[in-house]
A = this chain, B = another copy of it.
Amino acid sequence: MSLDKKTNILIVGLGLMGGSYAKALSRRGYSVSAITKDQKSIDYATDKGMIKKGSAFADRELISAADLIILAVYPHIVLDWLKENAKYIKKGAIITDVTGVKSNIVYDVQKILPQDTEFIAAHPMAGREVYGVENSDDKIFWGANYIVVPTEKNTPFAIGLCEELGWTLGFAYVSTLSPENHDEMIAFLSQLTHCIAVSLMCTKDNPDLVRYTGDSFRDLTRIAKINDEMWSELFLTNKEPLLREMEAFKQSFDSMYNALKNDDSDKMREMMRLSTTRRKLFDKQS
């Protein structure tokens, strides 16, 4: 199997991400079906031509017909869903996911799958601050990163197929990382930034400050509007790497605090120059 128009693709979970996958794949002529818990989402997606078939329960026929299964559900559901339904998956099928944390999921999943199927983890680094299939939009993939996260158990075939999926969806960059490197990267770049933004908004009650707010505060807190159910689960599922990054940030912030407290202008300026130099690198590719 390689990704072609005969590939039967099943998306499990039609939220913003699953819906956007469905949109991108259907628009390119692939045959997409979906399983999600809400019949309204199935109806909506069918009506919009995003899927051909759908079911509000784990329909055995849909599962056993699928060559490629994409689990677009909350992290804790990935394992549960497969425990229950792996037995219906056809021989040779490939299963992938969209979850933002990996080490604490991928090894467990690969342990319980039947030998003649393969789970290859992936993380589409895209999203919006809105939810639900009605808001799905495959433009969120344009210019974004798609990361394939293989373990030693994965075959070159499955890795290649998953990379092909990333390109097909419209991502600008497709790369591979180990689960451990992925989780460290995501703890630093994504989860730590969300911790900071949320903590900053919780620092003080500030309705009066709104009128004085400039761009710097707005930029820093844009991501402080957050889906608490999803993000608390992502944090907990990536607990150890995130705690390490939080500790590293606290140390750095304490250095600035102590420099100010001790009137150590040199130390403050050294940090500011380091940060300026490092940040410039991030501009070049933006």
Residues of A bordering B, CB below 8 Å: 125, 144-145, 147, 173, 175, 185, 188-190, 192-207, 209-214, 216-229, 231-233, 235-236, 239, 242-243, 245-257, 260-261, 263, 265, 268-269, 271-276, 278-286
Q: How far is the CB of A277 from chain B (nearest CB, A)?
A: 9
Those 9 A-B pairs whose CB atoms lie nearest each other, nearest first: A201-B275, A228-B272, A228-B269, A199-B253, A198-B275, A199-B252, A224-B279, A224-B275, A232-B268
Report Cα–Cα, A190/B200, bound state, in Å. Answer: 12
List the B side residues contacting A220 at CB < 8 Å. Answer: 193, 196-197, 219-220, 223
Query: Of all chain B residues, which has the CB nearest A249?
Result: B203
Contacts A189-B216, A192-B203 given; 12 further ones with Cβ under 8 A?
A188-B204, A189-B214, A190-B217, A196-B196, A196-B253, A201-B275, A202-B256, A221-B282, A225-B283, A228-B272, A228-B273, A229-B269
Q: How far is the CB of A97 from chain B (nearest CB, A)?
A: 18
Contact B279 A248 (CB under 8 A): no
- 12 A-B residue pairs with CB within 8 Å: A147-B212, A189-B214, A190-B217, A192-B203, A195-B256, A199-B253, A200-B275, A202-B271, A221-B279, A228-B269, A235-B268, A236-B260
